[in-house]
Structure 1
Amino acid sequence: MSTALPDAIGARRLNQGITATWWYTVSGVMVFQLMVLFIWLTIFGGMGVDLVTIAIIGIGGVVWCAASLPLLLQYRQRDDTAGPVAAWRGTLIPIVFAVVFGIVSGVFSGLWLVGALPLIQSLTLLNWPRGVRLRLLVAAMVVLAALWFIDWRTTFADADAEVSSAWGLFGFFAVALPAMTVMSLWWWDVLVTLDRARAAEARLGATQERLRVATDVHDLQGHHLQVIALQLELAERLLDKDPDAAHEQLRLARASVAEARQGTRDLAMRFRGVPLPDEIANAVDLLRAAGTTADAEVSPAAAQAPASVLGPVIRETTTNVLRHGGGRWARLSLTRHGGAWRYEIVNDAASDSSASDAAGRSGSSGLDGVTRRVAEAGGEVRVDRGKSEFHVVVTVPDTVSGPEGQR
Structure 2
Amino acid sequence: MTSFRWVSGAVYGIVLAAGLYYALAGLGDGNPPRLAGFVAGMAALFALDVVERRLDRAPVVFLVARLALFSSVAALDESGLSRALFVLVPFTAYLTFGRTAGLVLGGLCLALLAGGFAVWVPGWYRDATHLSDLLMFGMGLVLALAMAEVATRERRAAARIAELSAVTERNRLARDIHDSLGHHLTAIAIQLAKASAFRDRDPAAAEQALTDARDSAQRALRDVRTSVGALRSAPVTLRAALTELAGQDDRVTVHIDGAERDLDQATVTTLHRAAQEAVTNARRHGAATAVSVTVTYDPAGTRLVVTDDGRGFDPSADRAGFGLLGLRERAALVGGECIVDSRPGAGTSVTVLVP
- TM-score w.r.t. the length of structure 2 is 0.48
Which structure has more RCO (C-alpha within 8 Å, separation ≥ 6)?
A: 1
Identify the structure with the greater helix proportion.
1
